[in-house]
Amino acid sequence: MRWRRQMTLATAAAHQHLFGQELTVAMKNFLQNLSLSLTGYVIANSLIFVSIVVAGRLLGPSQFGQYALTIALSQILIIPMLPGIDVAAMREVALHPQQLPQIAASGLFLLAACTLATWIGVLLVGDTAARLLGLGGSVVRIAALIALAMAGKTFWDSIVRGSGAFRLQLWVRIVDAALILFIFLAGYAWLGVHDWRLLALGVTGGALASAWIFYSWVGRGQLRWAGVTSAVTRRLVRYGWAGVIGAVAGILLASADKVLLGNFLGSRGLGVYQAYYFASVQLTGQLALIFLNVFFPAAVGQSDLAIVIRKLDRLVVRLAVPAIIGVSLFILATLWLFSSAYERNLILVLLMSVYAVLWFIMMTYWTLINTTGPRGILYASLNALVAGVMYLLLVQQLLPLLELYAPPIAFLAAFGYMGGAIWLWRVRFRFTLR
């Protein structure tokens, strides 16, 4: 297509300007896959953006805050359902593509076992946990249903990602986003349902549809003959168990604070914060995932990561400030779309913009360390866990004084710690952990 050729030429010129060298064959392949992922990202996230903004505007801050809290709980419940299996499976498929059926079957077995154990736990102690958190029991069960759908989608997405089927990902991501928008608008306009659960239903429906499409592509008749093998299962567990630590760290850094905010500020305060968070950290995080979607499989095959990390360093130096300015403008535009019920605060806009860009940077370097094998993922996960605990404790301490300013300020401290850990990894291990 003409626009794609023009994009390739523009990318080559930008690469020459930034790094002083022409594109290599490997870099051309990387950028081609990245352009596919970005195309899907732009279309899908445009639909999701419309869904969230329309929902936030129609439901109001209080209902939107309830939705944000439920999604945060679902992210927490995904950890025991998918304990590092997705990252391990993606790495295994990238390294051993000929074993894709065995990897998919073994990973599915682990996913089913972990999901069953998690649901038993929810049924046994879910109501007690809800009372301790000041929530209704139905919220925990709805969060568990969302987590079930998201865990399946995430697992199959990791298989497809490791195999390099980025064109399939593009279309599935669009289907997922379109279903979220359709279910919400249909329920709101035709059924007269004006409740946050409608948006949660849309997210669940989109995730289930995505999981089914991915499964159909991966299966293609193979999984009927491919049994669960002990060798592949051991490899998945060996690599994945350290990923559990990283997943817990990710929840502490990205989801658990919503529970604190909801308890301290109420659902309305959480709804206002979620609007800022959605327009900055969440969308920037999605963009980071699209980049890492292609970056992880490409980096796994590199014998020397020094070249990769030097390019990342230069990108960070050149683009950090323009990115902060761009995110700030985007937040202001998004808040205007949400309506005047979501207060506009320029200081909070700037803080959330810095938060979003630092989050992108941290995710990129963290993923680079993860590609280096079990030792690397354990190092990254343990340090991220420390940063996550630090962040959550700081949010808890700062909330009474700073309210909505607490999360972005607390993240600055957490990022400082992670920056030190990344620097130590670079100096000590010289990019070649295996």
Higher pLDDT, 298 or 398: 398
How do the domains of the chain map onto residue ranges? Answer: 30-429
What is the spatial distance between Cα 164 and Cα 162, in angstroms, rounded to a whole number? 5
Task: Calculate the CA dihedral of residues 199, 326, 174, 367 and round it to 10 degrees.
Answer: -100
Task: Calculate the CA dihedral of residues 366, 367, 369, 370 and round it to 10 degrees.
Answer: 120
Report residue 18's pLDDT band, with 50, 70 and 90 as the boundaries.
Answer: very low
What pLDDT does 280 receive? 84
Percent of the chain surpassing pLDDT 90: 12
Three-state DSSP string of the chain: CHHHHHHHHHHHHHHHHHHCCCCCHHHHHHHHHHHHHHHHHHHHHHHHHHHHHHHHHHHHHHHHHHHHHHHHHHHHHHHHHCCCHHHHHHHHHHHCHHHHHHHHHHHHHHHHHHHHHHHHHHHHHHHHHHHHCCCCHHHHHHHHHHHHHHHHHHHHHHHHHHHCCHHHHHHHHHHHHHHHHHHHHHHHHCCCCCCHHHHHHHHHHHHHHHHHHHHHHHHCCCCCCCCCCHHHHHHHHHHHHHHHHHHHHHHHHHCHHHHHHHHHHHHHHHHHHHHHHHHHHHHHHHHHHHHHHHHHHHHHCCCCCHHHHHHHHHHHHHHHHHHHHHHHHHHHHHHHHHCCCCCCCHHHHHHHHHHHHHHHHHHHHHHHHHCCCHHHHHHHHHHHHHHHHHHHHHHHHHHHHHHHHHHHHHHHHHHHHHHHHHHHHHHHHCCCCC
What pLDDT does 360 receive? 85
- Please give the angle made by the CA atoms of 148, 295 and 246, to the nearest 5 degrees: 45
* pLDDT tens track for 372-412: 767 777 888 888 889 999 999 999 999 999 889 999 999 99
Is 300 a residue whose pLDDT tops 80?
no
What is the spatial distance between Cα 198 and Cα 142, in angstroms, rounded to a whole number? 11
Predicted TM-score (pTM) above 0.85 = no
What is the spatial distance between Cα 103 and Cα 38, in angstroms, rounded to a whole number? 27
Is 22 a residue whose pLDDT tops 60?
no
Is 14 a residue whose pLDDT tops 60?
no
Q: Is 157 in a helix, a strand, or coil? A: helix
| Average of per-residue pLDDT across 321-347 | 88
Percent of the chain surpassing pLDDT 70: 79
What pLDDT does 432 receive? 44
Is 263 a residue whose pLDDT tops 90?
no
Q: What is the secondary structure of 70-92 as a DSSP string?
A: HHHHHHHHHHHHSSSHHHHHHHH
Is 430 a residue whose pLDDT tops 80?
no
| Average of per-residue pLDDT across 87-94 | 80
Higher pLDDT, 246 or 112: 112
* pLDDT tens track for 348-357: 999 999 999 9
Is 274 a residue whose pLDDT tops 90?
no
